Structure 1
Amino acid sequence: MGRATASKGSILVSGASIAGIAVAFWLDRIGFAVTVVEKSSGVRRGGYPIDVRGTAVEVASRMGILSQLRQAHIESRRMTFLDADGGVAAVVHPQGLSGGVEGRDVEVPRGDLTDVIYAAVDDEVEFVFDDSIAELTDDQERGVDVTFHSGRRRRFDLVVGADGIHSRTRELGFGPERQFHHYLGYCVAVFTVPNSSGLSHEGLVWNTPGRGAALYAVRDSTELHAMLTFAHPEPSFETIRDPLAHRELIAAAFADDGWEIPALADGMRQASELFFDSVSQIRMPNWSSGRVVLVGDAAYAPSFLTGQGSSLALVGAYMLADALATHRDHTMAFAAYDSTLRGFVELNQAQVGVGAAALFPTTAEALEERNEALRGLAERSRDAGRPAHTALTLPETDLRQRIGVAGRD
């Protein structure tokens, strides 16, 4: 008998994000019939390199995917920081900058992580692409009635929102984003440009007060991941949603800068895909409401400045599934998920301003202080790690062992 037949109930996961496919992996294994709905045409591939650190490494091990992630590890060798004229201000090892532990933590292209998890998700998980939630009606007693943008209607026992920092599920179940959205003072644009400079296994970070640019070479790729970050008053939600406004805002912010910035600005204008957003966190007093619960960025986005988004997604997915496996009642399970994970989330959100999160000072004095600190990082041990990354210990009993599936890799 398949797990869907012997199900504990039906769950809709909104969003095939890292958090979404990871929680689908675990929910299927503990006996739920799982449906994942994703507005895009497939699981998102490509994207900037991401880190799996600390407790999230143990989650990857329990999923049985850690060996594959180690094979995909990028092994970045150095980050070179440049001043406004392109002169070298500091050179550091990426692990020393991020607080990662060499030999334990892994850095992989985002698409590699999603591909590995997606391949591990059981065939019994139903994926519905090119669709999304339009309306939710939680009647508390019987389930959640969902209307999709396609017009289809279905009822589920529970709904998990894993649809990112601008979560539609959160808006429907908890209210407008503004009450949970905490702006950190910057906007960021990410795109790709040709690797005309011959960078390999390394990154460059250019700074002037209030603005920064980064170029990142994944191995010997012919393309570079480019990022432009700038301090700015909080943009309106209308601006965030307007692709034309994005390019105009970025171009204006970097209009008078030198070094390679004009070429990067041209690359940004010509990029076929441009990711733009405010640099923000999501902070919520509760991650569940009735039969709806949130995981990953939808519940507790830490911002890219912490480098912990993917790790929080993996750990959050595991802890939510563990709570649902432990408690028969979803209300008790959601309360346990919140109480066991919240401290870990808050510690990692507080990493804003620490290490890599302090890369974009807004004054000349703060920038010089940052450069001095970076030069000191050259001597830092790369096997110490940052305490926040391991501040949560997973339940002693491996969830896979508890449900009778082969153990860790």
Structure 2
Amino acid sequence: MTKPRVLISGASIAGPALAYWLNRYGWSTTIVERAPSLRTGGQNVDVRGAGREVGRRMGLEDDIRAATTGEVGTRFLGRGGRTVAEFPAGTSDSDGATAELEILRGDLAALLVSRTSGETEYRFGDRITGIADGTNGDGTTGTAPPGVVVSFEHAPDERFDLVVAADGIGSSTRRLVFGDEPEIRSLGLETSYATIPRTAADDDWWRWYNAAGGRSITLRPDSHGTIRAAMSFVTERTRAEVGAERRTVDEQRARLRRIFGDAGWEAHRVLDGFDQADDLYFESIGQVRAPRWSSGRVVLLGDAAYCASPVSGMGTSLSITGAYVLAGELAAHVDHRDAFAGYERLMRPYVEQAQQLPPGTPRLANPMTRAGVAAFGLGVRLASTPVLGRIGSRFFVPPADAIELPDYAHLER
């Protein structure tokens, strides 16, 4: 029998993870990625709970552990960089502001691609520009086999059985099919990320510093001898703020200097590092709230379907878990419509819980006034004490275990 052909848009985490499982079930997978090569940059991501269990079933847990960033925990800093409170890294699948398994996004993507490159066809430097879903691929009836005819920016049109949009919160593939239907809900925070040089004064803690005006600066270690820096600031909580990343890199650098020039601590070091960085990335933090995750033979996965935002700590676990469930449901059902329904039935409660952020997030952690900064420092200091630690932990530990994973092992070919 001919293998079902699936086209996946996006070669970050969700796309290659889905390809891995579909390959094990005997499907043919192709991944198209608009970047000219695999994007190996990115910040620290957590592999928690159900996502970590899926990693075990993939045989990836030891590889992730070997590539860990070495982050030993989280420190909140006050004026002058003094430590206000600290939280050591977790020691189980799910606990800790710093997960037991922390890995750079690009390193995890590289692991997933290496596990699939022998069976999955990767097409870099191209993107989907049109999708015609129907009996003939163009919505008309006829003798052609069912499928989706996909148009590309550079390659000729091609027919696939299914198309999966796994190309992030701003998914262009999603827009082709769903338009503006999924709501991108702004959380009122903008964050810029880049890699900067490590100095002798740096350590292996995730250091978090707040300045009045809703500003924060974080420095995190990585496994490559550099530091992953981020600058965040509160914006208006409107949908229009999402998409601010369309500024040019130079415009953003100038914007950050205006906003963080008087922030104190390591602000000038980070701003200077951002000026030299070739991986500066910035985004308006938001969540994707999609009323449905599929239309015809097209289905959404990962951030394209249900981005919970970086502040949730659940993005990677949702992507890996969603890939596992979607692939398993496709293998378990003859009709893709039944598979998509099963995928949504199993994943939506997990997603909805992950998207329920602690009250006041993210403004609570990015106070506007000096008094607010002082109050936040007092709060994290109390939360770090043994007496109040259990109460405080609910703000740092996401619901990573809140799904019962099906066992699809019997479906492998």
TM above 0.5, one fold? yes
SS in 2 for 1:389: coil
Deviation at 1:222, TM superposition (A): 3.5
The one-letter code sitting in structure 2 at the alignment partner of 1:29 is R
CA 386–401 in structure 1, closer or farther in 2 if over 3 Å, else same: farther
- 2:74 corresponds to which residue? 79
Distance 1:86 1:242 in 2: 31
**Does the 8 A contact of 1:351 with 1:357 survive in 2?**
no
Counterpart among 241, 245, 264 of residue 240 in structure 1: 245
Tell me the alpha carbon deviations over residues 99-152 of structure 1, each in whole angstroms, 9 at most, x when there is no partner: 626999411122221222112116221111111111111125621111101042
Distance 2:340 2:135 in 1: 14
Deviation at 1:73, TM superposition (A): 2.8
Does 1:402 pair with 2:411? yes
**Does the 8 A contact of 2:148 with 2:297 survive in 1?**
yes
Distance 2:231 2:129 in 1: 33
Tell me which moved more, 354-363 or 162-171: 354-363
**Does the 8 A contact of 1:215 with 1:224 survive in 2?**
yes
CA 239–391 in structure 1, closer or farther in 2 if over 3 Å, else same: closer
The one-letter code sitting in structure 1 at the alignment partner of 2:188 is G
Cα RMSD (Å): 2.8
- 2:143 corresponds to which residue? none
CA 86–200 in structure 1, closer or farther in 2 if over 3 Å, else same: closer
**Does the 8 A contact of 1:295 with 1:313 survive in 2?**
yes
1:281-360 paired onto structure 2 within 5 Å:
281-353=287-359, 358-360=364-366
1:58-77 paired onto structure 2 within 5 Å:
58-77=53-72
- 2:231 corresponds to which residue? 228
Deviation at 1:248, TM superposition (A): 2.8
Tell me which moved more, 61-70 or 263-272: 263-272
- 1:187 corresponds to which residue? 190
SS in 2 for 1:347: helix
SS in 1 for 2:81: coil
Structure 2 stretches of 5 or more lacking a match? 137-145
- 1:377 corresponds to which residue? 384
Counterpart among 171, 174, 180 of residue 178 in structure 2: 174
Tell me which moved more, 308-317 or 114-123: 114-123
Does 1:392 pair with 2:403? yes
- 1:208 corresponds to which residue? 211
CA 101–215 in structure 1, closer or farther in 2 if over 3 Å, else same: closer
Does 1:277 pair with 2:277? no
**Does the 8 A contact of 1:200 with 1:218 survive in 2?**
no
The one-letter code sitting in structure 2 at the alignment partner of 1:213 is I
The one-letter code sitting in structure 1 at the alignment partner of 2:149 is D
Tell me the alpha carbon deviations over residues 301-338 of structure 1, each in whole angstroms, 9 at most, x when there is no partner: 11110111111000000111111111111111111111
The one-letter code sitting in structure 1 at the alignment partner of 2:373 is L
**Does the 8 A contact of 1:193 with 1:271 survive in 2?**
yes
SS in 1 for 2:311: coil
CA 320–183 in structure 1, closer or farther in 2 if over 3 Å, else same: same
Tell me the alpha carbon deviations over residues 74-107 of structure 1, each in whole angstroms, 9 at most, x when there is no partner: 34223222224433322222439x9626999411
**Does the 8 A contact of 2:22 with 2:29 survive in 1?**
yes
- 1:267 corresponds to which residue? 273
Tell me which moved more, 181-190 or 194-203: 194-203
Distance 1:360 1:306 in 2: 15
The one-letter code sitting in structure 2 at the alignment partner of 1:402 is L
The one-letter code sitting in structure 1 at the alignment partner of 2:411 is R
Tell me which moved more, 45-54 or 182-191: 45-54
Structure 1 stretches of 5 or more lacking a match? 405-409
**Does the 8 A contact of 1:305 with 1:357 survive in 2?**
no
Distance 2:180 2:363 in 1: 27
Tell me the alpha carbon deviations over residues 12-46 of structure 1, each in whole angstroms, 9 at most, x when there is no partner: 00010100000011112222211100111222213
SS in 1 for 2:282: strand
Distance 2:245 2:341 in 1: 33
Give the aligned length. Answer: 394
Deviation at 1:297, TM superposition (A): 0.5
The one-letter code sitting in structure 1 at the alignment partner of 2:295 is S
Tell me which moved more, 37-46 or 128-137: 37-46
The one-letter code sitting in structure 2 at the alignment partner of 1:250 is L
Distance 1:236 1:128 in 2: 32
Distance 2:314 2:178 in 1: 24
CA 242–74 in structure 1, closer or farther in 2 if over 3 Å, else same: closer
Instruction: Return the TM-score normalized by structure 2.
Output: 0.87
Instruction: Return the TM-score normalized by structure 1.
Output: 0.88
CA 245–255 in structure 1, closer or farther in 2 if over 3 Å, else same: same
CA 273–287 in structure 1, closer or farther in 2 if over 3 Å, else same: same
Deviation at 1:245, TM superposition (A): 3.0
- 1:54 corresponds to which residue? 49
